[in-house]
Structure 1
Amino acid sequence: MNNRAVIPAALAFIAVFLAAINLRAGISSLAPVLGDALAAFGSGGSIAGVITAMPGLFFAVVGLVAVPVATRLGLSRTLLVGMVIALVGLAARPWVGAMWLFLVLTALIVAGIALANVLLPAWIKSHGGRHVVALMAVYSAILSLSGAIGPLSILLFTGPGAWRWALFLWAGFSAAQVAVWAVVAARAGFDFPSVSSPTPGAGTPAGLKSLWRSRTAVALMLFFGLQSMHAYVQMGWLPKILLDYGHPAETASVALALVGGINAVGGFAIPFVLDRLDRIYLLPLIFAAIMATGYLGIWFTDAAVPLLWAALLGIGGYCFPTAIALIPARTRAPLITARLSGFVQPYGYLIAAAGPFLVGVAYQITLDWSLILAALGASCLLMAAIGFFAARGGDIDDEIAVQV
């Protein structure tokens, strides 16, 4: 790569902000209007299952091909391609008249978002310069905020076709993103990093082993997968848990929003904390313990003071920005950052996708949340141990370098 310094800082911050705000809202905005959309097409629960399964599946599958595509087009151009694909889906999806087209366009949206999901950390590492930590903070915080505000778009519209406008709203944000990233891609040119890219302290390894040979990379992938699993479980099942414990729907909604809001605060703060904290391996231990306390608090108190337990789950969710920030923190060369992101996120999302499904199966069998909450609390201990190892590991560049 030969154009690492061509992106001005102001443009980089605007570009990362717009990319991050589009990383979840286009998906999460569908949840509160899914029933209206299914009714409009005369579709049933099986289609709803397909739609809700798409994000985890596409994040995994498309994530695996993101880096290979970027090696041919460059990071910025591949990001732009993904954003254009998502824009087409967001702009057209609300207005189609057939469910199969609705499904195809939803798949385009998720696929386009999946490309940015994997490549944006590598882009920040490559173009961020001395602003890498601040850019990662913006990325993590706004990504969490994106998931929280997406469902709120339905509140802006009323009437029979409100669900269509609630979905179409995010096409405007996507269009702004495409416009800015077209400028970024034009300035950056081909910007996929090479092994020989001049990176301070990176050296020039003669070759690179598979990331499966790096204990730190594998630990980080497992940590990312487990924390994502908990995030999906909370998004999908926390309201149902609180409803079953006798709380009104309003309380359940506020609790879930509280989790998302606290996540956004942590997303901004954690990259700076990691940059200044010597013993960063303590963070996964602390956050996983707090998350476990949230689950066990719901169990032992029959969900009394639900907002307290939701707040603890939100703080425990700081495992997500910790995992994301560790991707550039545990690598030196932008090439390794790109490869690591393309390894950690796709395989991690495969782990994450299993969580809500298994919770649903367990609840269908037991019709009780006690054992499920206990299992979720226990899995936090596993997440703590793996996160401790991932955060304490060395530079992945060294672990996969072939010595000659």
Structure 2
Amino acid sequence: MVLVVGIVLIATTLRAPITGIAPVLEQVIGHFNLTASQAGLLTTLPLIAFAIASPLAAMLAKRLGLEISLLIALIFIGLGCFSRVFNFQSVLFIGTGIIGVGIAIGNVLLPSLIKRDFPQKVAIMTSIYVLSMGIVGGGFSALVIPLAEFNEFGWQISLALFSIVVVIAILFWLPQLNQKTPPTQNLVQTKANAKIWHYALAWQVTFYLGCNSLFTYIIVGWLPSILIESGHSAEQAGVLHGVFLIATAVPGLILVPLLAKLKDQRAPAVGIALLAAISSLSLFYFPSLAFLFTLIVGFCSGACFILGLSFISYRTQNSQQAAALSGMGQCFGYSLAAFGPMLAGFLHTQIGDWSGAVWLCAAGNLICATVGFWCGRNTQLPA
């Protein structure tokens, strides 16, 4: 039971520290006099850290064990959150990068821990931790503005308060340190599948994950700013940002059992991506219906992510091949996604509104729909 609580608490730290900054991003920009491109870089740093640190997480776990490696991840996240109390622009960027490294380690290793310790309940445990990420991430986004206004704490204290959650997670995880167990073999045995980069199907899955991440992190980083510019208050924008994050977790409860019954996944892969393209444009052009389209965009974002992860399993023939495709998808996919928030900020500066950013989201989803038609077919990579 302590292990389950520990896993859930780790999961709660893997989203909120990077998504919680979006509702107060306008305050951060004003406080440090950031350009839109610098603000975009701030939301992009975690993605760069994901791309760099994800391949290194398996080596860390192989050397130190899963338990210690996950503790290191929590320490990184906690230090990065606490660093936001310091009134230096450089510390803000460095701390955000440190948070990204910690989350990258947790993202890679937590599924391996679940597969090792709960082999018969992988789907249930995965749904629980994904739901925990969504609920806490959404709740923190909704509370950031009220916390900042409470006793005039300000945005820095408001963001730094999440380090308390990280400390609690560390305390619950400490009993696991009497073990030092390696990750599952499928996490570390990927060199035999280096040729996976040579197959079109692997690139199709990678672009599906990458374009979904590009779209998702533009919305994660800029949704409150888009809503504020369209006439919503900062508090309303923060709540809607929380609604988006919670909605991303809902497909995990619906889509996973449905996919197992389908002959192939082309219909949901194409249909959901097209719906995401339409809904992301509607956020800008129909601001009075922001709540509805925020829900739909969040649902589509989470659904496409689950489909992308499912393709890793469905399109491969063994666990080592799946690990290789997962590594390729995360490394290249997050690298592609890293350009999204910066490019969206640059387009806003050049155009003067957020139309360029939402059309960039729509374009990413159209590419997602196109490659989804191919990687959704009932086929597998060669052995």
Question: TM class by shorter-chain length?
Answer: 0.7 to 0.9
The 1-side partners of 2:333 and 2:321 are apart by 17
Which of 311, 318, 338 is 1:353 aligned to? 338
Q: Greater CA deviation, 80-89 or 182-191?
A: 182-191
User: Is residue 130 from structure 1 mapped to residue 120 from structure 2 by the alignment?
Assistant: yes
Partner Cα distance (2:168, 2:65) in 1: 21
1:274 deviation in Å?
3.0
CA distance in 1, matches of 2:318, 2:69: 19
1:140 match: 130
Distance 1:218 1:226 in 2: 12
**Structure 1 residue 150 and structure 2 residue 140: aligned?**
yes
Which SS does the other structure have where 1:279 is aligned? Answer: coil
| 1:214 Cα deviation after fit | 4.1
Aligned to 2:33: 44
Instruction: Say if 1:94 and 1:168, in contact at 8 Å, map to a contact too.
Output: yes
- Sort the Cα spacing of 1:87 and 1:378 in 2 relative to 1 into closer, same or farther, 3 A: closer
% identical aligned pairs? 27
Alpha carbon RMSD of aligned pairs, Å? 3.5
Q: Secondary structure at the match of 2:103?
A: helix
Partner of 1:343: 328
Of 277, 280, 285, which aligns to 1:295?
280
Q: How does 1:180-329 map to 2 (within 5 A)?
A: 180-184=172-176, 186-187=178-179, 189-193=181-185, 207-246=192-231, 249=234, 252-298=237-283, 302-317=286-301, 318-328=303-313
Structure 1 pair 327–17 and aligned structure 2 pair: CA distance change class (3 A): farther
Structure 1 residue 350: Cα displacement: 1.3
- Would the alpha carbon gap of residues 368 and 85 (structure 1) be closer, same or farther in structure 2, given more than 3 Å must change? closer
CA drift of 1:176 comes to 3.1
Distance in 2 (CA, whole Å) between partners of 1:296 and 1:154 is 26
Distance 1:67 1:173, change over 3 A: same
Aligned to 1:3: none
Question: What does residue 116 of structure 1 align with?
Answer: 106
TM-score, scaled to structure 2: 0.82
- Aligned counterparts of 1:68 and 1:80: Cα–Cα separation in 2: 15
Matched, 1:68 2:59: yes
- Matched letter for residue 73 of structure 2: G
State how far apart, in whole Å, the 2-side matches of 1:20 and 1:284 are: 26
Which has more radius of gyration? 1
State the SS of the aligned residue for 1:178. Answer: helix
CA 1:17–1:276 in 2, change beyond 3 Å: closer, same or farther? farther
Q: Note the C-alpha offset of 1:283.
A: 1.9
* 1-structure distance, mates of 2:352, 2:331: 32
By percentage of residues, which structure has more helix?
A: 2
Contact 1:133–1:275, Cα closer than 8 Å, also in 2: no
The answer to whether structure 1 residue 54 and structure 2 residue 45 are counterparts is yes
**TM-score normalised by the chain length of structure 1:** 0.78
* CA distance 1:273–1:12, change in 2 (3 Å): farther
Partner SS state of residue 54, structure 2: helix
The CA distance in 2 between the partners of 1:177 and 1:23, in whole Å, is 11
Give ranges in structure 2 of 5+ residues lacking alignment. none
CA distance in 2, matches of 1:15, 1:390: 35
Unaligned residue ranges in structure 1 (runs of 5+): 1-9, 198-204
Distance change (3 Å), C-alpha of 1:217 and 1:74 = farther
CA drift at 1:329? 5.2
